[in-house]
Each structure stands twice: as structure tokens, then as C-alpha cells.
């Protein structure tokens, strides 16, 4: 199923127009009108409203709606790491926006900084890329149920793309398989590192425990938004659609095994 995200300037106005044209895309919540839909989108979870299993040109799609301001806030400040985390992986931009592009670059730099903090003194490139892909899964309840192997699969499938996405000169800091490298955080990444230290309570962990502290910090950050966002999915998607979506995810996981 194709996963789309629309970043819009005015959520209520967008939903009003979309409800006029595609009311069938919505759960019964849509009957309450665009104001209620926009309120649920912006006040609960990660600020994203999803419609799933929508038929479109012979296929099924899932599309989310987020305000541009909420997207920028997450990319720049990791407010929820929900969409920012998705943009740590390869995505295709249909229509670019200069502010979003700039924020997306900062988001990738922050992800690289966080992943570097999680590495031991010697590490391989694959571990760094996998940890970048796993940042937004840490603390996500779906990770326990259906997404446990997703970061490794993304790294194996999109390794070259992930390498190109990283801000230079970070790829050179990781050793090739069997090699050695000592990760250091560039000055441009210090802001991300400082934020993670603050989230962890300011404790200066030793090298052996630093990765654990960063993971715990990210887990708390992600859980605060992903858990209510998952619950919101039952409201915005409806019980049948949500159960169908989770069932499909579980079936895919079983097939992989």
C-alpha cells in the first residue's frame, strides 16, 4: 500500500474541501465536519490525520495530513519524531518547499548525530545506518507487534540511498565491514547532541552507557506521541479498517519469517 503525506497550510480548509470531494475516505468522524477532523489532527498524537485503505487508480493508498507548521516543528526540534523519523528513510518528494527542504537537511544531521552517539568506539557503517533508521521506532508500540525487523530491512534494501542522504562527511566516519573508526560529532551537530543530553537528564554517561542513555531518551520522546497517535488511528480509521491494517502488517511479518 502506497503511503502518502500531505503537508497543508490550513488543515480545516483542506479537510473541508476533501470531505466535499472524498467523504468516503473518512471514518464516521468525518460526519462531524472539517473543524472536528482538524481538531483531532492537530491536538492528538503527532499532529497527523490518516485515511487508510483508500482506493485510488486501481490500488490502495494510505494518506496522512499534517500542517506545514507542525511538520517544520518536528523536523527542526524533534517534537514527536513521527514524521521527522519517517524522513530519516528514503522518501520521494512530489512538491518541494524551501523551508521544508532546509528543515529536512537539519533533521538528517540530527539523526546522524544521535546515531553516532549510540555507536561504540569502533563500529561498522551498516550499524550506523541501521540505527539511523531505527530512531523513530524506539518506544513505538508498533515496534513490539509488527515492525521489529523493519530497520534492518530498510538498511539492507536502501543502503546506497541512505549513504547518499547522510550529510558529509559522516559516511566516512564509519568503517567498512571489518574496519575501525572513532566517531566524533562535528560542531554543526552539537545542537542535536546537547538536546539529547538534556532529554537524558544531563547525565554524563561513560562510553559504554552512552548508547543506552540516548536510546532511553529517544524511547520516551517517541512514546509520548506514537502511543496516542496509534490510539487515534482507531478513531480516524475506524475499528474495521484499523484491524485490517494491523492484520496485514502481522501477515507481512509472518511471511518475512
Distance CA 242, CA 111 (A): 30
> What pTM, to 2 d.p., does this model score?
0.78
- One DSSP character per residue, 183-205 reads ----GGGHHHHHHHHHHTTS---
Q: If we measure between CA atoms, which residue out of 235, 91, 245 comes closest to residue 162?
A: 91
Distance CA 122, CA 9 (A): 45
pLDDT at 173: 43
Distance CA 27, CA 51 (A): 8
Distance CA 208, CA 108 (A): 25
pLDDT at 241: 60
pLDDT at 44: 83
Distance CA 141, CA 125 (A): 27
Helices and strands, number each (H, E), in the chain = 12, 3
pLDDT at 21: 96
- Over the chain (257 residues), the average pLDDT of each successive run of 10 is 93 98 93 95 91 90 96 94 94 92 94 86 84 87 65 90 77 44 42 53 54 86 84 70 56 50
pLDDT at 191: 54
Amino acid at each position: 500500500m502506497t503511503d502518502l503525506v500531505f503537508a497543508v497550510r490550513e488543515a480545516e480548509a483542506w479537510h473541508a474541501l476533501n470531505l466535499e470531494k472524498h467523504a468516503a475516505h473518512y471514518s464516521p468522524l468525518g460526519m462531524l465536519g472539517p473543524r472536528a477532523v482538524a481538531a483531532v489532527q492537530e491536538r492528538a498524537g503527532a499532529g497527523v490525520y490518516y485515511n487508510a485503505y483508500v482506493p485510488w487508480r486501481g490500488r490502495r493508498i494510505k494518506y496522512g495530513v499534517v500542517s506545514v507548521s507542525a511538520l517544520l516543528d518536528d523536523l527542526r526540534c524533534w517534537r514527536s519524531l513521527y514524521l521527522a523519523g519517517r524522513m530519516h528513510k528514503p522518501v520521494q518528494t512530489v512538491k518541494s518547499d524551501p523551508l521544508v527542504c532546509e528543515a529536512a537537511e537539519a533533521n538528517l544531521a540530527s539523526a546522524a548525530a544521535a546515531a553516532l552517539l549510540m555507536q561504540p568506539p569502533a563500529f561498522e557503517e551498516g550499524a550506523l545506518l541501521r540505527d539511523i533508521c531505527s530512531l523513530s521506532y524506539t518506544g513505538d508500540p508498533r515496534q513490539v507487534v509488527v515492525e521489529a525487523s523493519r530497520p534492518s530491512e530498510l538498511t539492507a534494501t536502501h543502503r546506497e540511498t541512505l549513504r547518499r542522504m547522510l550529510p558529509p562527511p559522516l559516511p566516512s566516519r564509519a568503517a567498512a565491514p571489518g574496519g575501525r573508526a572513532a566517531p566524533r560529532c562535528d560542531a554543526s551537530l552539537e545542537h542535536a547532541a546537547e538536546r539529547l543530553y538534556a532529554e537524558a537528564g544531563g547525565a554524563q554517561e561513560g562510553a559504554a552507557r552512552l548508547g543506552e542513555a540516548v536510546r532511553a531518551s529517544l524511547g520516551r520522546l517517541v512514546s509520548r506521541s506514537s502511543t496516542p497517535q496509534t490510539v487515534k488511528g482507531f478513531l480516524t480509521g475506524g475499528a474495521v479498517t484499523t484491524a485490517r491494517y494491523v492484520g496485514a502488517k502481522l501477515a507481512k511479518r509472518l511471511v518475512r519469517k
